Each structure stands twice: as C-alpha cells, then as structure tokens.
C-alpha cells in the first residue's frame, strides 16, 4: 500500500480527490492501493527538560546547563488520536510519499514521525507549490527521491534544537537571576524573539530620547509666460543641519525678504533625466505582509492566514510561505493558462488582459533566484471570486496585480531639475512628466509598488531654459520641526527583521548578511511577533507595536549577543549551510551547546541590572502590585496574593532612563511638515 502523508486535513482531501481515494476512513482517505492521511501540524514535539529527569521540574541554577545526550520527542497530547492513526498506517505501508508543505518545517513534521514510528520502507517526496488539481497532478507525475530533501529536515531539526537549548537554558537562567534581583515574572529568552524584541525596544528608546529641532522652509510660486510652477529655497550650507534643513530663523527671514523684493528669478541651469521602472516582482510572504500592513492595516498574522486561505481553501494562489519573489523559467510556458484562468474567474479583467503582452518575459523569470519556492502568483484554474471575503479579495488582487504587471511595459518618466537665482538666493524646481504609464495601468500609483516616485503626481514644469526669467508670484515661509522615528507597525517590523543587515554596524558582518534571510524565516516571523504580544513584551497601540516595561528589563538583562539581530541572522545562515550540506547537524548543535555552557558559567553568579517597575495600587486592598506572567501574558497582581487576588492589566510604558545613549537631536528620515 502506498501511503501519502500530508500536513493538514485540507491538503489530504485535495490530494485524495486527485488520486481517486474517495473512501473516507478514520483520519484518512482510502482508494485502490492508495491511502492518504495527514498530520495536524506537528503531531510530536521536543520533550521538556523534566523528561530527562524528574529533578529538572524545579528550576535551579545548579542544574544548568541542560544539554541532552540523546534528544527525545514526545507525542502531543491534543493530537494523540491522529498520531495513532498515522502510526498504524505507517506499519502497513510498503512505500511512503511525504506530501507535507514543501519547506523546512514540512519536512520536519513528516520525518520526525517516521523516526519515532521507526518506518523503514521506501520514501518519495511530493513537492507542491499549489493545491489546484492541475498542480497536484503535475507534482504527482514528478515525485522526488527522498534523499533530495532530507537536508531540509536536518536544517529544521537544527533550528528546533538550537531554539530548545537557548529557550530552556537561558529563560531559566535569567528568570532565576531576575528573581534574585526582585523580578517576579518569567524572563523568556528566544533565539529569534529576543533580537526581534530588541528592534522594538531600540526604536522606542530612540523615540523617547529624540529632541525635536525647529527649521524653516520657503516655498516660492513662480510664473513663466502665464504658466505657474513651484520652487523651493535652497538655504546656505552654513545655516543647515546634516539633513539640509535651515535651522537659523533669521537667515530664512532675510532670504524671504530678498525673494519677495526681487520679484524675479533667473534660470541658471536645467537638467532632465529619463527613468525607466521595471514592473515590481511577484510577492514573497514578507513583502506581502509589509504591503498589506501599510495599505490595509492588516496584522502580519492576518495576512498570512488570508494567503493560506487563498492557497488551501480557494485554490486561488500558490504556496504562501515563499522567500522568493522570482519564478522558474519553465513556468513561462504556463502564462496563457494563468491568463485564461484569471479571465474566467473575473471577466472584468478583459481590457487589461487584452492589453497585456503575453510574450513579454520580465526579470521575474529567473532560475538562479528561485530557492525551494517561487513567488506567490495566481493558479492555473478558475475559482469563485465571490466566495472571497473583503480582505481576501484585497490580498488576492494585490497578488494578481503583481503577476499581470509582468506583461506590461516599463513605467517611463522624465524628471527635470531646474536651478534658479532670485537675487542672491538659490531656488530649485522639480518636475515630472510621465512618458509611458506601462505597468502603472495595472497597479496605479500606490507608493508601495515602486520607488519614491510612484506615489507622486505628475508635475510638469514649463519650458524652462537657461537665462529664462520667471516672475515671483508669492513666497511663503513655514516653520517646521524634525520628527522622531515612527513606531514600528507589524509590517515595518517584518521588514526590519528581514533587512537586519541595514541595522548591523560591523562592515564585515553587514556584507555577510546582505544576501541572507535576516531574523527568522517567512514561515516564522508572524508567529514570533504574536508570541511577543501574547507574552506581554509587546503591546498594540493603534497600528503600532510598542515595547512593554518588562521588555526593557529583559533586553537590559540578557547578553548583548543574544539580543543582537546580527547574531540570529548568522544562525539562520548556518541553518542554510546545513540545508546545502556545507555543515552537519551535529557540528551545529555541538557549537550551540558549547556556547550555551559558556554563557551559563559566565552569568551564573551575576547580579542583573534590573529595574523593578513601580506597581499600581491594588484596587481591592491598597497594597502595591507586582508584575506577574500568566497564560495570557503579563498582568499586575497584588503583592499580598494569595490573601488578596486583585489584578490589573499591564499598560505599556516607554522607558528612556535605562538607556545610556545620548539624545538624538534630529532625524533626517523622520521630518515631515
């Protein structure tokens, strides 16, 4: 009997339908010589420390570090029934097809089960990028040998064990040290979550310490042969800050007076440059989450859930947890099928699809840029568009738009810069004239689909040439202030996690990180942010996420290397090396265990520099309250507990006192009118 092992029941149902396995059994579908079963995510998990000894139930510094000699996995209690089903079917199978998600985690979900159940039969791998019938049939016809993907399992296992070593040892270590310093809650430390939290803490401190600086701008309305246009005053360098802002009011006022009294500006030079913008690439998951956060205000988990629904439930788009924006060159042969599917799904696309050049091969088709997955695009088969919710449709149309954009010309425009002299003052006027709308016909002028020019309206200058004189119609001075950096939204935090190289100072490390995935992976980043929210380390403030008081305490307490975004990015690089065979699982875990042992020994006798938050007054008895950690995160609990059971929710506080950084006086990127 050939057994197909899927990751989720919905996948099992889709694959069973194509295989003709239509007889429903307990936790499976049966057909002629074929059975399809499934996991429910992970059916097994890494054993907790107490599984290695009853004495480890009690947290103690003397027991650390905990380094298993032989790693154990146990069956998850809430999915034990399905585990029994899979185990029985594996015992009956003569050959197995792994049909879990085509990624590192999917490989681990299947292979851990096979090891625990001691399956020794033949194994093949089904590699699916979409769950529509055509894609399933194509994948079934091209099953891969199991040895082609086994290193994915080793990489996932390395990630899991490294997370266990860091989480179990360092969470216990710093929680116990925290208790010695008077902190009652758990200080949870994670390989990915702690550096992610560091990003938010640093941003919040930058905001708290920012000192706003006033500056002045002058806008000038000019006219040439009756055609109005606008120019901006260019202040002298001796009166500007590093961002080019005029910080001396008296200089600006003098310039305004001279411009108003001169009443004429002469064109000194004109420079026009033509730009061609290629269509934006199809989405990877992170980019999709960033855009949906910015445009629709969706949480990153909401975007992932919607993308998963478009993939699994509606069969509308391909595999969502992709880390690539590119497409295999072989998929260019499927363009006509995708286009016809789009038209059958939504006939209103007829004008766009008719205008598209189906033979145009954009930069998106590039085998060298495709990893295990390709960009997220529409599937080969129509579906019921009306079945989508409002948010599902919005996300689907973004994905569809980025695919359609590949078949439209480049967006072309001229940018003109004119330098003018008004008395002794310099003015600059900028114009933009669109030559070819190109792919903007599909995606419009939304700022998130192109560079900074995309969101700007076309502003055409008159026919200015050197030595032309323009009349000054009006000049106005405006007082502005530099603004602090903005708090992270979830989408911007995802972007920062992915682009962590930009935040690393060491030039050698920065270069090494430029082509890596950053903090976490496409499949885990949303979960990391959710975990920080649930544990009370982050709180939502509108669309933003802010660090809680305990977050500052934690980041100040843990070793710099643990909280350094560059460190976890290097770990991700090591996991990629395991995946490609450049490093073994055992080598990686041995290095991790040695490093954990060194950290424990170094900090075992340390005193943490913890500032205990000032608690509110208990509403029941008036005693001081303390922060505690519960199943739903942090909360205030009466210090007289259990005699008094008063509680209050934790409100986020931004601390600046625990940072040793000097105040920032301005922020060139954070300046707005």
User: 641 an active-site residue?
Assistant: no
Catalytically annotated residue among 4, 311, 319, 326: 319
What is the Cα–Cα distance from 545 to 538, expressed in whole angstroms?
6
Torsion of the alpha carbons at 459, 437, 322 and 200, rounded to the nearest 10: 0
Three-class HEC string of 454-499: CCCCCCCCCCCCCCCEEEEEEEEEEEEEECCCCCCEHHHHHHHHHC
Residues 6+ apart with CB under 8 A from 572: 516, 517, 518, 519, 520, 521
Give the Å distances, CA to CA, from 99 to 128, 158, 612: 8, 22, 50
- For the chain, give the longest Cα–Cα distance: 95
Q: What are phi and psi of 272, to 5 degrees?
A: -120, 130
**Cβ neighbour number for residue 147 with a 10 Å cutoff:** 9
Buried b (16+ CB within 10 A) or exposed e, 518-534: bbbbbbbbbebbbbbbe
Counting Cα atoms < 13 Å in the Cβ hemisphere of 672 gives: 5
Q: In angstroms, rounded to a whole number, what is the distance separating the alpha carbons of residues 253 and 350?
A: 57
Sheet containing 34-38, strands listed edge to edge, beginning at the edge strand earlier in sequence = 23-25, 28-31, 34-38, 2-6, 95-99, 122-125, 144-145
CA distances from 423 to 246, 259, 477 (A): 19, 7, 17
Please say whether the beta carbons of 44 and 83 come within 8 A: yes
Q: DSSP code of 282?
A: P
Q: Are strands 73-75 and 95-99 parallel, antiparallel or unpaired?
A: unpaired
Radius of gyration of the chain (CA): 30
Bridge partner residues of 515 (DSSP): none
Helix (H, G, I), strand (E, B) or coil at 326: coil
Residue 161 β-bridge partners: none
Handedness of CA 288, 284, 374, 441 (dihedral sign): positive
Strand partners, 585: none
Residue 335 CA, distance from chain mean position: 29
CA distance 477 to 218: 4
Residue 220 phi, psi dihedral angles, 5° rounding: -120, 130
Which helix (H) or strand (E) segment holds residue 608: the answer is none
Q: Is the dihedral of CA 50, 55, 59, 60 positive or negative?
A: negative
Catalytically annotated residues: 319
């Amino acid at each position: 009997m050939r057994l197909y092992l899927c990751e989720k029941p919905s996948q099992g149902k889709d694959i069973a339908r194509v295989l003709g396995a239509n007889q429903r059994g307990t936790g499976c579908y049966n057909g002629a010589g074929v059975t399809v079963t499934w996991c429910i995510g992970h059916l097994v998990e890494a054993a907790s420390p107490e599984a290695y000894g009853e004495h480890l139930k009690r947290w103690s510094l003397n027991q650390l570090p905990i380094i298993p000699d032989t790693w154990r996995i146990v069956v998850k209690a809430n999915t034990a029934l399905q585990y029994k089903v899979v185990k029985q079917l594996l015992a009956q199978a003569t050959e197995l097809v792994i049909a879990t998600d085509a990624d590192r985690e999917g490989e681990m979900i299947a292979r851990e089960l096979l090891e625990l159940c001691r399956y020794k039969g033949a194994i093949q791998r089904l590699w699916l990028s979409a769950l529509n019938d055509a894609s399933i049939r194509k994948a079934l016809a091209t099953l891969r040998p199991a040895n082609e993907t086994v290193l994915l399992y080793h990489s996932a296992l390395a990630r899991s064990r490294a997370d266990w070593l860091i989480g179990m040892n360092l969470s216990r270590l710093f929680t116990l040290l925290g208790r010695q310093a008077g902190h009652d809650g758990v200080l949870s430390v994670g390989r990915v979550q702690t550096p992610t939290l560091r990003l938010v803490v640093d941003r919040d401190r930058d905001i708290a310490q920012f000192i706003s600086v006033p500056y002045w701008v002058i806008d000038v309305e000019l006219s040439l042969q009756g055609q109005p246009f606008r120019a901006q005053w260019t202040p002298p360098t001796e009166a500007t800050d590093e961002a080019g802002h005029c910080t001396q009011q008296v200089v600006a006022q003098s310039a305004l007076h001279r411009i108003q009294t001169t009443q004429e500006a002469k064109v000194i030079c004109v420079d026009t440059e033509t730009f061609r913008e290629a269509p934006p690439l199809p989405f990877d998951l992170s980019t999709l989450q960033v855009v949906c956060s910015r445009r629709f205000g969706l949480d990153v988990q909401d975007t992932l859930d919607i993308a998963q629904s478009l993939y699994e439930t509606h069969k509308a788009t391909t595999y969502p947890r992709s880390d690539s924006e590119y497409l295999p060159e072989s998929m260019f042969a499927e363009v006509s099928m995708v286009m016809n599917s789009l038209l059958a799904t939504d006939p209103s696309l007829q004008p766009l699809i008719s205008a598209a050049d189906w033979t145009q091969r954009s930069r998106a088709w590039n085998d060298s840029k495709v990893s295990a997955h390709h960009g997220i695009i529409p599937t080969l088969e129509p579906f019921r568009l009306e079945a989508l919710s409002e948010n599902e449709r919005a996300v689907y149309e973004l994905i569809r738009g980025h695919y359609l954009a590949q078949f439209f010309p480049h967006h072309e425009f001229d940018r003109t810069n004119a330098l003018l002299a008004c008395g002794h003052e310099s003015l600059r006027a900028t114009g933009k004239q669109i030559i070819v709308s190109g792919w903007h016909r599909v995606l419009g002028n939304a700022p998130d689909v192109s560079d900074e020019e995309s969101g700007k309206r076309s502003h055409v200058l008159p026919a200015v040439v050197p030595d032309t004189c323009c009349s000054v119609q009006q000049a106005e001075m405006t007082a502005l202030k530099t603004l602090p950096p903005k708090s992270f939204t979830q989408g911007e935090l995802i972007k920062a996690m992915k682009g962590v190289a930009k935040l690393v100072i060491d030039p050698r490390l920065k270069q090494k990180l430029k082509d890596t995935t950053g903090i976490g992976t496409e499949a885990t980043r949303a979960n990391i942010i959710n975990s920080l929210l649930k544990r009370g380390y982050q709180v939502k403030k509108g669309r933003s996420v802010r660090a809680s008081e305990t977050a500052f305490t934690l980041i100040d307490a843990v070793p710099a290397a643990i909280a350094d975004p560059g460190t976890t990015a290097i770990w991700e690089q090591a996991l990629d090396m395991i995946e490609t065979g450049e490093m073994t699982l055992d080598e990686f875990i041995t290095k991790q265990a040695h490093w954990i042992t060194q950290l424990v020994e170094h900090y075992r006798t340390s005193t943490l520099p913890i500032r205990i938050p000032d608690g509110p007054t208990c509403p029941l008895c008036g005693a001081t309250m303390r922060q505690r950690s519960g199943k739903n995160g942090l909360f205030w609990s009466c210090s007289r507990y259990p005699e008094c059971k008063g509680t209050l929710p934790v409100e986020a506080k931004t601390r600046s006192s625990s940072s040793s950084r000097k105040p920032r006086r301005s922020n060139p990127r954070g300046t707005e009118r």
